[in-house]
Amino acid sequence: MVTGRFIAFEGGEGAGKSTQAQLLVAALEARGKVCVLTREPGGTPGAEAIRELLLHPPGEGWLPQTEALLFAAARADHVGRLVRPSLAKGHWVVSDRYLDSSRAYQGAALELGDRAIRDLHSFGSTGMLPDLTVVLTAEPARVAERLARRDGGAADAIGGRDAAYHARVAAAFTRFAAAEPDRFVVIDGESDVDAVHQRVMQAVEQLC
């Protein structure tokens, strides 16, 4: 039985994840691969509904624990209804964010702890991990420029958190990659878009 490959793009706000995920899918499809481009939170109707709750929360917003539970619930639906079935068909799945975003944003930056996030993932998504996780990095000043162009000053509830929070997120991704070098590759996302894409393709070659 031929199974597909699962690649996740990770990194802070404005690092270029969505752009590089789209370019990767186009390149893989040009090689004859059947690809599924998806995102988190989201990817399925249920997970997209939860995404709206997370990015535009009612009232005063969610408590950290509630936020983590909502992300885990969205991921469980995403994995069960889209990721696993697609891989079983031999398709390649490319996701803009996955588990490591929860580890960085809620586990590290909101100080819920890595164990709590991994336990939720083990229960909700049977601990499923990508074949490759690409972390894109960018300096804060560069990120601020990109976000200003992308959001026009209208950031969502998570993207709009303060600089100290996002610094903790970035540091967490660096730690994760250092701890699991076989699963992660770190790429400087500040280079020219095409140059970053070429580095992504070099990293993906090992899976082809």
The more confidently predicted of residues 157 and 1 is 157
The answer to whether residue 172 sits within a structural domain is: yes
Q: What pLDDT, in 10s, does the model give residues 88-116?
A: 999 999 999 999 999 999 999 999 999 99
Torsion of the alpha carbons at 143, 55, 101 and 206, rounded to the nearest 10: -80
Q: Which of 23-37, 134-148, 164-178 has the lowest mean pLDDT?
A: 134-148
Q: Quote the pTM value.
A: 0.93
CATH code, 118: 3.40.50.300
Compute the average pLDDT of residues 129-142.
Answer: 88
The answer to whether residue 1 sits within a structural domain is: no
Q: Other CB atoms closer than 10 Å to residue 189's CB: what's the count?
A: 27
Q: What is the pLDDT of residue 190?
A: 86
Q: What is the pLDDT of residue 208?
A: 86
Q: What is the pLDDT of residue 163?
A: 87
Is a pLDDT exceeding 70 seen at residue 164?
yes
Q: What is the pLDDT of residue 146?
A: 60
**Residue 127: which residues within 8 A CB-CB, separation 6 or more?**
118, 121
Q: How confident is the model at residue 139 (pLDDT cuts 50, 70, 90)?
A: confident
Query: What is the C-alpha to C-alpha distance for residues 30 and 80, in angstroms, rounded to an integer?
Result: 27
DSSP annotation string for 37-77: EEESS-SSHHHHHHHHHHHS-STT---HHHHHHHHHHHHHH
- Give the total number of structural domains in the chain: 1
Query: What is the C-alpha to C-alpha distance for residues 82 and 187, in angstroms, rounded to an integer?
Result: 27
The answer to whether residue 105 sits within a structural domain is: yes
> Quick one: tokens of 20?
């590089």
Q: How confident is the model at residue 185 (pLDDT cuts 50, 70, 90)?
A: very high
Give the chain's length: 208
Range of the domain at 136: 6-207
Cis peptide before 45 (omega within 30 of 0): no
The answer to whether residue 190 sits within a structural domain is: yes
Is a pLDDT exceeding 90 seen at residue 177?
yes
Q: What pLDDT, in 10s, does the model give residues 57-71?
A: 999 999 999 999 999
